[in-house]
Structure 1
Amino acid sequence: MHCVTAEDSFVLVDRPRPQVAVVTLNRPERMNSMAFDVMVPLRDVLRELTYDNEVRAVVLTGAGRGFSSGADHKSAGSVPHVKGLTRPSFGLRSMEILDDVILALRKMHQPVIAAVNGAAIGGGLCLALAADIRVAASGAYFRAAGINNGLTASELGLSYLLPRAIGSSRAFEIMLTGRDVDADEAQRIGLVSRTVAEDELLEVCCEMAERIAAFSRPGVELTKRTLWSGLDAASLEGHMQAEGLGQLYVRLLTANFEEAVAARAEKRPAVFTDDKP
């Protein structure tokens, strides 16, 4: 992989394949904990990549043996733009930065695949859940750690995202007990879509990203939007209307459907131009 950011950066961006970007949290000595020195550049990288039209899919992972161990209780880093604030306001601004990272992942135009290479604890679990797809290395594990630290386990959207990923009963149990969920269980309960050997993780995720990148850009983007809006929807009827509008948009304004039908008939890969001749 060719790295396009400085080697001493806490967030690295690689372009291993055409139209695929790999974002790596690069603080392995702290298991990629969510210090502000890591989260601020991560937020900025995600905001930049979402408007990079050469990137069609994103893989998020961690360097070393951890995906992200959550809050850094020893070295939280510096929070920007807080000079002169009282402690309560400082806390609000700090949480806002972390919230922005989760929302940036959700709002990316491109699908995001979390390649969970190791521990995903507390906020690290939230980062994984904010991705669209999760793939775990065989040695990865997950923990909603807030309850273990005498706090609430609800943070950074965890109590919203986890029940939608694995169901309410399992989410309640995992969040209230603070226990670890290993990779095998994570796959069984739907927390991740698959588990692979550690040395195959990035290859599998990049292959998946490349497959997604080959499809229609608006088709992929609208599928991501409607999947998330379905999870957020107040009613099935309203969500079905949103789905229908998205389908009509791609069907009427592009020739992608005709190209897919022709490609199948001609036994060749489809080439989507996202345009109407």
Structure 2
Amino acid sequence: MTMPAQTVDTGTDQLLCEIADRVATITLNRPDARNALSDDLTPALRRMIKECGSSDDVGALLITGTGTAFCAGGDVKGMGGRSSKPEMTQDEKVNQLKVRQRTLTGALKAVRKPTIAALPGPAAGAGLSIALACDIRFASQSAFISTGYARVGLSGDYGIAWLLTQVVGTAKARELLFSAAKVGSEECLRLGLVNQLFPDDILMSESRAFCKSLANGPAITLQNMKDNLDDALDLDFLTCLDSEAERLVKTAQTEDHKEAVRAFIEKRTPNFKGR
């Protein structure tokens, strides 16, 4: 049964959020600026990632952008301009950025629920980092990506080097960062930068349907799967084997596992409760 959508107050019209069928759809809403990050949008995005990531009413997060872009990254027009705020020291700037990174892509990567990015168009710079910090990426046929940083004389932030390297390997990550080349949707699919491509007009319906299926799945199992997958990035095989054993035994004790077994025997769809 489809439940009516719940609109969440993000504190700004530059970011929209609604929850329906246990899916939190978070939409960057600056279409005139290709959904570039801003002093209003970015703090709101941080809050929504934190709130939706910890809410019992949310089983999966879907992040997308209004119009024909996902996120152009930082607002280049605002870079290098004069600010009325007191000038910070170098250390203060570094510490500020560290906090901002950890509470955005760092927090998104740490969410123990499925996270999906739906790219209706370009994802560039920090926008690409946000997409890569999600578990899965779907894209429209007209979407493309670009690291973008080299074009504006910046080295990269929000985890772009680590995230890219994990997805495409070190050689390709270096090429994409150094060149800031535009990579079309078909090439993104070939490289594994996106998981699936859809015609522009059905991207969101397909993305929402996929998110709904995950959001109503066995939450504890999915959380432990994410832990296993994260371990696989950093730990040796035998350590991962041991951790998998611990987590499988733990998930075998859940009500969702018992429900899944009953549903299999009774040839019906399981009704998971997240416990």
| Structure 2 length-normalised TM | 0.89
Report if the CA contact (8 A) 1:119-1:140 is conserved. yes
| Secondary structure of residue in 2 paired with 1:134 | strand
Question: Residue type of the partner of 2:241?
Answer: M
Give the aligned length.
268
Residues 274, 59 of structure 1: alpha-carbon distance in 2 compared, 3 angstrom cutoff: closer
Q: Which of the residues 109, 130, 135 maps onto 1:132?
A: 135
| Secondary structure of residue in 1 paired with 2:77 | coil
Q: In the TM superposition, what is the alpha-carbon distance from 1:99 to its structure 2 partner?
A: 3.7
Cα RMSD, aligned residues only: 2.4
Report if the CA contact (8 A) 1:135-1:201 is conserved. yes
Q: Provide, for residues 169-207 of structure 1, a one-character-per-residue CA deviation record: whole Å limited to 9, x for no partner.
A: 222222222111111111111111100011111111111
Report if the CA contact (8 A) 1:121-1:143 is conserved. yes
Question: Residue type of the partner of 2:230?
Answer: W
Report if the CA contact (8 A) 1:35-1:75 is conserved. no
Q: Which residue of 1 aligns with 2:144?
A: 141
Question: Residue type of the partner of 1:149?
Answer: V
Q: In the TM superposition, what is the alpha-carbon distance from 1:61 to its structure 2 partner?
A: 0.4
Q: Which of the residues 194, 200, 203 maps onto 1:201?
A: 203
Report if the CA contact (8 A) 2:64-2:117 is conserved. yes
Q: In the TM superposition, what is the alpha-carbon distance from 1:260 to its structure 2 partner?
A: 2.1
| Structure 1 length-normalised TM | 0.88
Question: Residue type of the partner of 2:225?
Answer: T
Q: Which residue of 2 aligns with 1:261?
A: 261
Q: Provide, for residues 3-31 of structure 1, a one-character-per-residue CA deviation record: whole Å limited to 9, x for no partner.
A: 4337952111012x311110001111111
Question: Residue type of the partner of 1:263?
Answer: A
Q: Which runs of 5+ in 2 are unaligned?
A: none
Q: Which moved more, 1:189-198 or 1:103-112?
A: 103-112
Residues 271, 155 of structure 1: alpha-carbon distance in 2 compared, 3 angstrom cutoff: same
Residues 247, 85 of structure 1: alpha-carbon distance in 2 compared, 3 angstrom cutoff: farther
Matched, 1:33 2:36: yes
Matched, 1:75 2:78: yes
Alignment of 1:84-123 (within 5 A): 86-92=88-94, 93-123=96-126
Report if the CA contact (8 A) 2:217-2:272 is conserved. yes
State the distance in 1 between where 2:10 and 2:51 align.
16
| Secondary structure of residue in 2 paired with 1:67 | coil
Report if the CA contact (8 A) 1:39-1:98 is conserved. no
Alignment of 1:1-277 (within 5 A): 3-5=7-9, 9-15=13-19, 17-75=20-78, 86-92=88-94, 93-152=96-155, 154-231=156-233, 233-251=234-252, 253-275=253-275
| Secondary structure of residue in 2 paired with 1:64 | coil
Question: Residue type of the partner of 2:245?
Answer: G
Q: In the TM superposition, what is the alpha-carbon distance from 1:215 to its structure 2 partner?
A: 1.6
Residues 272, 160 of structure 1: alpha-carbon distance in 2 compared, 3 angstrom cutoff: same
Q: Which moved more, 1:160-169 or 1:49-58?
A: 160-169
**Identity across the alignment (%):** 27
Q: In the TM superposition, what is the alpha-carbon distance from 1:155 to its structure 2 partner?
A: 2.1
Q: In the TM superposition, what is the alpha-carbon distance from 1:128 to its structure 2 partner?
A: 0.4
| Secondary structure of residue in 2 paired with 1:164 | helix
Question: Residue type of the partner of 1:119?
Answer: P
State the distance in 2 between where 1:2 and 1:261 align.
32
Q: Provide, for residues 244-271 of structure 1, a one-character-per-residue CA deviation record: whole Å limited to 9, x for no partner.
A: 22111111x2143333233223221012
Q: In the TM superposition, what is the alpha-carbon distance from 1:122 to its structure 2 partner?
A: 0.8
Q: Which moved more, 1:87-96 or 1:220-229?
A: 87-96
